[in-house]
Amino acid sequence: MVAEVPVLAPAEEGATPAKPKSRRMLLFIIIAALALLAAGGGAAWWLHGSARPAATAPKPAPVGPALYLALDPPFVVNFDSEQAVRFLQIAVQLMSRDPATIELLKANDPVIRNNLLLLFGNQKYAVPATRAGKEALRGEALAGVRDVISAAGGHPERLEAVYFTSFVMQ
């Protein structure tokens, strides 16, 4: 007896035989793409996280209520403006959250007033007439008062702001 050998039937036209290798290849490509994306995302997260400077940590909120010191009476200065004498009157308040700084400012009131009078009187008429000019003048006043605090042995950074509560140009 002769053993029967199985014979494959001829394939129909247009039909493609199943390829198990192509499924494995597709699965391999998908897994490789996902691994590549995960590695790229991890690298981007690591680089972005390590590139942050330490200074981006939020500053601690100021402690204590704001304390204001009015420099009374208001400053009145005159300055030249195209052949006419002009006057400038400014009411100034200083702001700090440190009571010791406020006391230091009170003790040095004559020096602060002198320096601010010289600063305000040295202005050209067109400069403080604009908002940008007023803000620049306010910044210069803050720097000048901080210089006085520093010279008196205080902490200039504890003076937070100089405010103009009245500003009259004539």
72-96 confidence digits (pLDDT tens): 999 999 876 677 788 899 999 999 9
What CATH number has the domain spanning 67-169?
3.30.479.30
The answer to whether residue 151 scores a pLDDT higher than 70 is: yes
User: Measuring CA to CA, which residue among 151, 63, 167, 165 is closest to residue 105?
Assistant: 151
User: How much of the chain, in percent, has pLDDT values that exceed 70?
Assistant: 79
- pLDDT at res. 6: 64
118 vs 61, more confident: 118
Read off the pLDDT of each residue in 99-123 and give the average, rounded to a whole number: 94
Instruction: Give the dihedral sign, CA 37/40/46/47.
Output: negative
CA–CA gap between residue 40 and residue 87 (Å, rounded): 66
Give the pTM: 0.62
CA-to-CA separations, 112 to 70, 106, 108, 147, in angstroms, rounded:
12, 9, 6, 9
Mean pLDDT computed over every residue of the chain: 84
The answer to whether residue 3 scores a pLDDT higher than 80 is: no
CA–CA gap between residue 157 and residue 73 (Å, rounded): 25
Tens digits of residue pLDDT in 156-168: 999 999 999 999 9
CA–CA gap between residue 81 and residue 79 (Å, rounded): 7
Residue at 10: amino acid letter: P
167: Cβ contacts below 8 Å, ≥ 6 apart: 88, 89, 90, 91, 128, 134
